[in-house]
């Protein structure tokens, strides 16, 4: 029984780890790259514990959903520690982890002008290669809602990009 | 010129993917991580209860006799060390928004409790501890397994103390958690032998032509060329990837490898071993040995993997020491079913909170009756000294408005038919006394609509011995 469980976990981890690691690494700022392994391990611990709940065929998006929350908690802890220790200047309001790693000024400006939700959904699609169905699972909404939200977010992104480029 | 979509894709800062360092260690650590060690399982605290007298007289008397006359059993209280979100968020019902994240609760109901035993019982509760000198402990483990770690322990991040070796030998790691030390040792064979270098080309020594003494004279034969230098040694071959897992599942472990594994368990700490199982895949034999607590399965086990030649390929397991703290009464297995939702809600926070849903759709309180109106003003005194008329009574206050009806949407109930219950032990964190191994009832069953298997765990101590009062911070479902 345990060996069977371990085999499934191993298979899930083998498939999902590159995706969740990349997801976390893209958004790790202001934490450092050296924290990524710890967060991946935290996600895998949750995966092991909730293995029976991971939907077959949707392991990767399910674990990206977990990664999203693990990362939020890590960011929250970091910012709490940052305030207490007053060691670093807080990140400017509205600056996201993604904004800080994008070299393309136009793309960065257009993403910055979006809401957090729009930015999340666009980057899940563009960077993490997630379909609307996957995004639905990650965000806990219906597939239809995810498709609509993705489409609208893309429209807003393109519109903002065009107006920024024209300025 | 690139399109906006291409530029967005190109801005991906991690386009090349992610490869974790020490992936295998990461996987094995995750698999040996107790479910009770995460943030949702908060620190246990221990305090003496004044309410023990309220316990079932018969049971408590029996247990008190076991623990020594006159001694009161402590209440085991959970405390939240770091609230993640305020509890009031849970009162929004099935879809409370917390920090922009939606909370999704499950709403389970159970059938099948009547099939389980109605008998109460008692079992010991243990404190569990482990050596804090991890480097020494890892060396001790290696000696027990008959292997040698080549180098000295060096700290490697927050999670583990790692040994690294070069060449053929064994590496290991160890970290501490859940009251036990978790160790992992694995062989680190050198790379396969490189291919031989190509033989050097035979190069003949040039010999100047001999001046012929006559037109017919034959030139001298050149000397044999020297043998070419040997080719460079080939690079080490890469280690082959692991083969696919075999289809055969684990079976009861027998034979010399099983005996060897059980011998390791004894050498490691004289632990009580449960029924070992073995799994053979591509010539590699893995033997899992559950470690029992009080004769029951626990959340600890040792695992040994042997190569086809019988040599140890890897091993992992726990080092710990148990001490009986007290013997507690247990509720019956059938009564334990009623504790699934309250306890899961306290610990894992994904069940529909009973308190909030019992308030669902309740009628608002009736408005308070209006205050009596002010008394009428006294009449003016008559000119001729006659008494004036009495003042009129004040108007009656208006009735209060009936409170608005609260409406809450319950998540659709998921009916689970429970089929089995087993007793086990698992670890829980205590604030002042370290970790404890507490008895569990592990229920398993089938979701009626869907057919998939689910399981639930309950700490079956009577409620007066468990204090969940301060562990009431729900976490979003997404954090799982």
> Whole-angstrom Cα distance, residue A23 to residue A19?
6
Q: Tell me the HSE value of B316 on the side-chain side, using a 13 A CA sphere.
A: 18
- Tell me which chain B residue has its CA closest to the CA of residue A1: B250
Check B479 against A70: CB less than 8 A apart.
Answer: yes
Report the candidate in A140, A57, A50, A54 with the shortest Cα–Cα distance to residue B95. Answer: A140
Which range in A4-18, B184-198, B248-262 is most confidently predicted, on average pLDDT?
A: A4-18
Average pLDDT over every residue of B338-355: 61
| pLDDT tens-digit readout, B313-336 | 888 888 999 999 999 999 999 999
Q: Where would I find the beta strands (DSSP E) of B307-360?
A: 312-319, 321-330
pLDDT of residue B47: 24
**B99 has a pLDDT exceeding 80:** no
| pLDDT tens track for B222-243 | 444 444 444 444 444 444 344 3
What are the chain B neighbours of A38 within 8 Å (beta carbons)? 157-159
Q: What are phi and psi of B63, to 5 degrees?
A: -70, -40
Chain B, residues 258-317, CB within 8 A of chain A, namely: 277, 279, 286, 288, 301
Contacts with A, B 35-74, CB within 8 Å: 35, 38-39
Residues of chain A where predicted confidence (pLDDT) is lower than 50 = 83-95
Q: Does B353 touch chain A (CB under 8 A)?
A: no
Q: How does residue B345 score in pLDDT terms, banded at 50, 70 and 90?
A: low
Look up tokens 């690079």; give the residue.
B235
- Closest CA–CA distance from residue B478 to any residue of chain A (Å): 6
pLDDT at B399: 57
Mutation target for B interface from A40, A125, A126: give the one with most B CBs within 10 A.
A126
* pLDDT-derived band at B386, boundaries 50, 70, 90: low
Q: Locate tokens 């389970």: which residue?
A: B108
Find, in chain A, the residue whose alpha carbon is nearest to that of B454: A52
Buried b / exposed e across B371-397, counting CB within 10 Å, b at 16+?
A: eeeeeeeeeeeeeeeeeeeeeeeeeee
By the 8 A CB rule, do A134 and A142 touch? no
Q: Which of A10, A107, A140 sits opposite B11 (nearest CB)?
A: A107
Contacts with B164 (C-beta within 8 Å, 6 or more apart), sequence order: B151, B154, B171
pLDDT score for B130: 87
Give percent above pLDDT 70 in chain B: 50
Taking residue B249's Cβ as centre, other Cβ atoms within 10 Å add up to 11
């Amino acid at each position: 029984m345990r060996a069977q469980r371990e085999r499934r976990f191993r298979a899930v981890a083998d498939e999902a780890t590159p995706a969740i690691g990349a997801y976390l690494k893209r958004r790790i700022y202001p934490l450092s790259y050296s924290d990524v392994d710890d967060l991946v391990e935290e996600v895998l611990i949750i995966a092991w514990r909730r293995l029976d709940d991971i939907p077959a065929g949707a392991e990767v998006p399910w674990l990206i959903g977990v990664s999203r929350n693990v990362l939020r908690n890590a960011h929250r802890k970091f910012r709490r520690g940052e305030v207490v220790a007053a060691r670093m200047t807080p990140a400017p309001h509205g600056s996201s982890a993604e904004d800080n790693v994008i070299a393309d000024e136009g793309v960065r400006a257009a993403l910055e002008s979006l809401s957090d939700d729009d930015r999340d959904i666009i980057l899940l699609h563009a960077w993490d290669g997630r379909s609307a169905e996957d995004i639905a699972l990650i965000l806990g909404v219906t597939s239809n809602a995810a498709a609509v939200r993705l489409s609208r977010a893309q429209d807003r992104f393109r519109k903002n990009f065009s107006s920024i480029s024209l300025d | 010129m690139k399109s906006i979509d291409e530029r967005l894709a190109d801005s991906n800062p991690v386009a090349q993917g992610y490869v974790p360092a020490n992936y295998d260690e990461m996987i094995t650590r995750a698999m040996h991580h107790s479910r009770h060690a995460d943030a949702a399982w908060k620190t246990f605290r221990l305090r003496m209860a004044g309410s023990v007298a309220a316990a079932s007289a018969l049971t408590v008397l029996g247990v008190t006799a076991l623990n020594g006359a006159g001694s009161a059993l402590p209440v085991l209280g959970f405390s939240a060390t770091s609230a993640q979100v305020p509890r009031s968020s849970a009162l929004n019902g099935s879809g409370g928004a917390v920090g922009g994240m939606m909370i999704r609760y499950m709403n389970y109901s159970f059938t099948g409790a009547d099939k389980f035993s109605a008998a109460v019982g008692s079992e010991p509760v243990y404190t569990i501890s482990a050596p804090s000198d991890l480097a020494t402990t890892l060396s001790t483990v290696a000696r027990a397994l008959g292997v040698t770690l080549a180098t000295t322990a060096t700290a490697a991040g927050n999670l583990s103390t790692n040994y690294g070796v070069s060449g053929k030998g064994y590496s290991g790691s160890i970290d501490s958690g859940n009251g036990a030390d978790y160790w992992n040792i694995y062989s680190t064979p050198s790379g396969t032998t490189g291919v031989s270098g190509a033989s050097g080309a035979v190069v003949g020594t040039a010999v100047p032509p001999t001046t012929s003494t006559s037109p017919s004279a034959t030139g001298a034969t050149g000397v044999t060329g020297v043998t070419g230098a040997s080719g460079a040694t080939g690079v080490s071959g890469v280690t082959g990837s692991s083969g696919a897992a075999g289809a055969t599942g684990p079976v009861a472990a027998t034979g010399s490898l099983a005996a060897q594994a059980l011998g390791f368990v004894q050498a490691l700490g004289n632990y009580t071993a449960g029924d070992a199982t073995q799994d053979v895949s591509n010539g590699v034999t893995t033997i899992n040995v559950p470690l029992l607590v009080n004769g029951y399965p626990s959340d600890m086990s040792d695992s040994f993997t042997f190569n086809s030649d019988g040599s140890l390929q890897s091993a992992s397991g726990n080092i710990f020491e148990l001490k009986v703290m007290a013997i507690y009464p247990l509720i019956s297995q059938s009564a334990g079913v009623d504790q699934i939702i309250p306890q899961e809600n306290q610990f894992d926070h994904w069940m529909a909170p009973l308190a909030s849903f019992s308030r669902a759709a309740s009628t608002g309180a009736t408005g308070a009756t209006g205050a009596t109106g002010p008394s009428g003003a006294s009449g003016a005194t008559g000119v001729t000294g006659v008494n004036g008329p009495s003042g009129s009574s004040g108007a009656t206050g208006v009735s209060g408005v009936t409170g608005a009806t609260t409406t809450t949407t319950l998540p659709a109930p998921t009916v689970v038919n429970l089929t089995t219950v087993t007793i086990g032990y698992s670890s829980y964190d205590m604030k002042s006394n370290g970790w404890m191994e507490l008895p569990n009832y592990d229920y398993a069953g089938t979701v009626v609509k869907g057919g998939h298997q689910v399981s639930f765990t309950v700490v079956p101590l009577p409620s007066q011995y468990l204090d969940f009062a301060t562990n009431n911070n729900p976490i979003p479902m997404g954090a799982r």
